[in-house]
Structures are given as structure tokens and as C-alpha cells.
Amino acid sequence: MTDPRTVLVTGGNRGIGLASAKLFAEAGHRVAITSRNPDVDDERILAVSCDQTDSEAVDRAFETIEDELGAIEVLVANAGITRDQLFLRMSDDDFADVIDTNLTGAYRMARRAARPMLRARWGRLIFVSSVVGLLGSAGQVNYAASKSGLVGMARSMARELGSRNITANVIAPGPVATEMLASLTEEQQTAITDQVPLGRVAQPEEIAQMINFLASENGAYITGAVIPVDGGLGMGH
């Protein structure tokens, strides 16, 4: 982005979200993050508490950010949860909670962010999906469904909002060196890495670089795209 913009990164207190927020801040943009328990040791970043399964909480968070930084011009919808379980053992709540946070939550955030974007006739909606949403994964029916749903949602938004100079795109990361990955056993981590043609997991900063590109003027003619950043794991799916 050439001019400083107001950027909101959901789930921005760690991992990909935090790396993205810091990269935007380093480039001189006005940056806010939301999470249920925001705790970011960076004075350049405004941290706001928000439960994106609650529309009223979303409105309150946006009002706080708008009062401090101005209208959101770039939304990075990154917040997500997992409730892994074989689908025959998965409870209705396990499925519904993941959908409500990962998919419906992203919808709530994007709906609220799009209003000022429409008035400004400029905006970037960037959704962080997963290679799991494209390939599927045993034990992650709920997570895969939520991340796959982001693709159809973003492409529909791209068609609706394109005439107002608002883009909507999806990033599909492969395995990333985050707390979630670190919680797995060494054997599990090795099994994941062995599937990646590049033979390693990504660093959060590598995903953040692609997010930053899509938010920039260099990414202005890209919309409705699903961009894998997965070391070749999905081979373009």
C-alpha cells in the first residue's frame, strides 16, 4: 500500500495474525487487532477484545477502532478455532462452534467492514483459509467445512463489491510454525512435514508477506482468488 491505511487483523494476537499486524505496522499503516483475549506487546498496534460470534460485540469493536484509527480499509479475517474429532464422534456443538467462529464470524466481520469501504469506493477483504479447506483432513470435518466455506463466500463478495473497487481474496496456508503446530507430538509434526514437497513448514511471516501483497496497490487487480502458500502441499487446489 502506498498511502497509510487502517488495517484490522482478526485473531491478531499470535501466529499468522500477529505476524501480519506487525508487518503492516512496520510499513507505517494504522493497525488494530481483535481477539477474545488481546495481549500484544507492541505500542504500534491497537488491541481490542472481540468475540466474533456475537454481532453486537463486533459492532462495539469496530466503533472502538473507528474512534481511534478511522474507518477500516483492509480487513484480514484470520481468527479461527479447531475442535478436532473423527466425524462419527463429533458432537453438534463441536461442528457448530467451529463454523460459527471460522466462517460465520468472518462473515460478520466482513459485513461490518464493507460498509465504510463502499462509501470510500476502496477496500481489501482478505480471508485466511487453509489447505485443509481444499484437500480435506481426517478428524477435521468441521474445520475443513469452515475453511472451504470462506472460498465461496469471498468469491461471492468479489462479484458483489468489485464495481466499488473492493477486492476479496483467500489465502490458503499449509502447515505453519505456530502454537497450534507446536502442540503436536514430534512424530505428528514429522508426518506433516514429510507431506510438503519443500520439506518444511512455513514461518508466519511468509504468510504475512502474501497478505500484505494482496492489501497493496500491487494486488489491486486480484480478486476472487484462492492463493496457496503451502510449500506445494496442495499443488494449486
pLDDT along the chain (237 residues), means of 10: 88 95 97 91 94 97 98 97 94 98 98 98 98 92 97 98 98 91 81 92 97 97 97 85
> Does 152 fall in a domain?
yes
- The rounded distance, in Å, linking the Cα atoms of 130 and 122 is 26
At residue 236, the pLDDT reads 67
Domain count, the chain: 1
At residue 192, the pLDDT reads 86
Phi, psi of 83 (to 5 degrees): -145, 70
- The rounded distance, in Å, linking the Cα atoms of 14 and 28 is 20
Other Cβ atoms within 10 Å of 36 Cβ, number: 15
> Does 230 fall in a domain?
no
Catalytic residue list contains 143: yes
Domain that holds residue 60: 6-176+204-224
> Does 64 fall in a domain?
yes
What CATH number should be reported for the domain holding residue 86?
3.40.50.720
* Beta pairing class for 6-10 and 30-35: parallel
Alpha helix segments (H runs only) across 70-122: 92-99, 105-120
Q: Which of 74, 98, 143, 211 is catalytic?
A: 143
